[in-house]
Structure 1
């Protein structure tokens, strides 16, 4: 209840703020807005039902994959994506994600005794995808000259954050759902279930990477510190070599 009481008003404020960032050529906020709406569904279920809305996990992970894909395309395929991204396409993608649970119905009737395992296997698929999007983005950074440096930093930051949220909050629960032996231990069940309640609060940090400001200064300072460290190391190596 405490998480819901804190998270619900913050999520509503974040949605209103992100709505102002939606433009014809900047559709990423649309996916973040839908992710936050799924958070509202979970937070509301905590208040009304006193429990977590399990179906929201599918929505959340699907929108995280979509966000990572969109951020990857901006860097890896900037020219192609420049002419393909538009609000209409983004809305269609979001509608498809929201309608995705309809697929549960035939699966539930055909394999209702194994439905939890099937869902867990599906929720495991984003793991290699998120790693691929981050790795592909890092690889394509140098060639994406049409993307400003500050936007590159925000994109990489968003991809890293999404991967961390999935690995730390969702992946342990997915692994436990797939393992019958681990599921026998109640303590492990509780440990992997609790992080899911904090996922709405973690999603709020995506707002930081959707707009310019403090995030740019922080990421720029981190990059500068790394570059200074690398330059210092190179100079020390050069001096040593000259001395020899």
Structure 2
């Protein structure tokens, strides 16, 4: 493993893994509180954890790794599901801005059904497909137009979305832009590299950078938490203001 990629792997294992578990607990609590958008994000965190655990297994057994091993299949499955939930989050945010009159976008039933469909499609595809990595790469490339449409539609219709609160607009735009950059900067270059891998690139600096950026992708899933779980930041800010208010209140003696 190259130098930058090796560092990113170690950081991802030591930092991203425990933080992802902690955020998964927070997101599960958010679902209980009725935060419907977090349903997609909770499933996204599950796929992130699967990726991290599988990546550890792949690195640990790199000397005995086989092309059709269970670890490779599990990583392809988690990667495919991860991309599916990311595009769901991006589409949901874009629909709220573009199609403001549709109140059914955030219904819990629709969100749960969409998540179930993604899991089923991923399980069937990975189980049936012979070239698992190739299938995941092709499906990942097909998502590019959706990310472009989500970002373009959100930015275009943003001024006209007056019924949507300003805070909600910021949260949606931040999430859509973050997912757009994550796809085109970190994921797509790795997909293109896999589809058009050249032997002369092995050991090159560009290959090292592409792999390192791809390994940084799980951190984006963690950053996305602050756009999906705004209740957490609100509670944190409210607690800080409450502490400041208490400290600034003059004490009275009896």
- Settle same-fold status: TM greater than 0.5: yes
Alignment partner for residue 78 of structure 2, among 34, 42, 56? Answer: 56
Per-residue displacement from partner, 1:73-129 (whole Å, max 9, x unpaired)?
A: 11111221x234321221111121122221234442xxx4xx544432221111111
Task: Return the alpha-carbon distance in structure 1 between the equivalents of residues 113 and 25 of structure 2.
Answer: 21
**1-side partners of 2:57 and 2:227: how far apart?**
31
Residue 154 of structure 2 aligns with which residue? 137
Counterpart contact for 2:76–2:133, Cα < 8 Å: no
Deviations 1:134-186 (CA, angstroms, capped at 9, x unpaired): 11011111222221011101100000000111111111011112225x35421
Structural mapping, 1:135-174, within 5 Å = 135-174=152-191
What are the superposed Cα offsets for residues 201-240 of structure 1, whole Å, 9 maximum, x if unpaired? Answer: 12101111120548xx9xxxxxxxxxxxxxxxxxxxxxxx
1:73 match = 95
Instruction: Please state how far the C-alpha of 1:24 moved relative to its aligned partner.
Output: 8.4
The question of 1:95 aligning with 2:116 is answered yes
Q: Does structure 1 retain, via aligned residues, the 8 Å contact 2:37–2:106?
A: no
Alpha carbons of 1:118 and 1:208: their partners in 2 closer, same or farther (altered >3 Å)?
A: same
In the alignment, the residues of structure 2 paired with residue 171 and residue 45 of structure 1 have an alpha-carbon distance, to the nearest angstrom, of 20
Q: How do residues 74-223 of structure 1 correspond to structure 2 at under 5 angstroms?
A: 74-80=96-102, 82-101=103-122, 102-108=124-130, 112=131, 116-180=133-197, 182=198, 184-186=200-202, 187=204, 188-210=206-228, 211=230, 213=233
1:28 aligns with 2:45: no
Decide whether the 8 Å contact of 1:11 with 1:204 is kept in 2: yes
Question: Helix, strand or coil: the match of 2:172?
Answer: helix
Is there any run of 5+ residues in structure 2 with no aligned partner, and where?
1-9, 61-71, 238-254
Partners of 2:11 and 2:105 in 1: how far apart? 42
Q: Which structure is richer in relative contact order (CA contacts within 8 A, separation 6 or more)?
A: 2
TM-score, with length taken from structure 1: 0.75
Q: CA separation of 1:183/1:89 partners in 2, compared to 1, >3 Å: closer, same or farther?
A: farther
What is the match of residue 40 of structure 1?
Answer: 49
Q: 1:93 to 1:184 in 2, by over 3 A?
A: farther
Give the C-alpha shift of residue 40 in structure 1. 0.7
TM-score of the pair, normalised by structure 2: 0.73
Secondary structure of the equivalent of 2:161? coil
1:106–1:74: structure 2 CA closer, same or farther, 3 Å change rule?
same
